[in-house]
Amino acid sequence: MNEQAGQSLTLACVTDDSPTAAILHEALIGLFPRADVLRVDTAAERTLPSTVDCAVVDATVHDEDGVEVLRRLRARGYSGGAVLLLRPTQAGISEQTETAYRMGARACPLDSALPDQLGQAVVDALKVTDGGGEDSASSRAVRALRHNQRLIAAGELAMRLQHGLNNPLAALLAEAQLLEMEQLAPDHRASVKRIIELCRRVVTVVRGLDGVGRP
């Protein structure tokens, strides 16, 4: 995904000022790090910018049912993608899911698997409104998700490499430094110094893996 395509995606968190709002905002930023992620508080039907590609509506906004907030958004002319977050324990979850679908939205459970499910829900919601064409918002969202998944995979690989290399490198460097303190022939001392130099160079490279996988 190129940077311009990622930045052209605009998402909105329609929530109140609660811990859920912060979790949702961070989840969207983590899933779509180059997107413009807005936080929209109360009276969303009057303040939601027209540039928003997808609105993610919390199950309740200031004690008001999220379905009603979504209904007002549609009534006010918002035709973009929409995702309704639903708490698994709330009453009437199946009815609310059906209502969301009728309004061209997608439902997403607010549980421990939120990040994975939310990303796909945003893509599915966008496809409802744009059909998934090559230059559509849903295509940009798919590319953003894939790009982020590659970054995460690269970061996990880098972390495994660090853990796998740090201990042997430290042990090898310590052994070489102890050996350097011994009485050695000049050519052997030169070889030990070379080993120490190369170990330190590899340690520097391994430390550089810290930044791998960060957007």
Residue 213 scores a pLDDT above 70:
no
- Average pLDDT of the segment spanning 30-51: 77
Confidence (pLDDT) at 45? 57
Residue 36 scores a pLDDT above 50:
yes
Chain segment 87-118, per-residue pLDDT in tens? 776 667 788 888 888 998 998 887 766 677 88
Average pLDDT value for the chain: 80
- Cα first-last separation, the chain: 12
pTM confidence score: 0.67
Residue 21 scores a pLDDT above 70:
yes
Confidence (pLDDT) at 90? 67
- Joined together, the tokens standing for residue 120 give 């796909």
Confidence (pLDDT) at 74? 87
Confidence (pLDDT) at 44? 58
Confidence (pLDDT) at 11? 92
